[in-house]
């Protein structure tokens, strides 16, 4: 990932959460994300 970023690729990490209910967190950082991978574009 560092090589792609250093060569001016746009790098985006993809994560998902499992959530049910209506009691949403104040910020997205309070969720536990599962890392799924990365995508990049030149």
Average pLDDT of the segment spanning 6-35: 88
What is the pTM (predicted TM-score) of this model? 0.56
pLDDT score recorded for residue 35: 95
How far is C-alpha 33 from the geometric centre of its chain's CA atoms? 8
Q: Provide the 3-class DSSP secondary structure of residue 22.
A: coil
Query: The tokens of 26 are what?
Result: 């104040």
Contact 23, 31 (CB under 8 A): no
pLDDT tier, 28 (very low <50, low <70, confident <90, very high otherwise): confident
């Amino acid at each position: 990932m560092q090589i792609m970023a250093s060569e001016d690729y746009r790098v985006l990490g993809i994560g998902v959460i499992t959530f049910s209910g209506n009691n949403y967190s104040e910020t997205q950082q309070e969720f536990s994300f599962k890392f799924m991978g990365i995508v990049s574009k030149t």
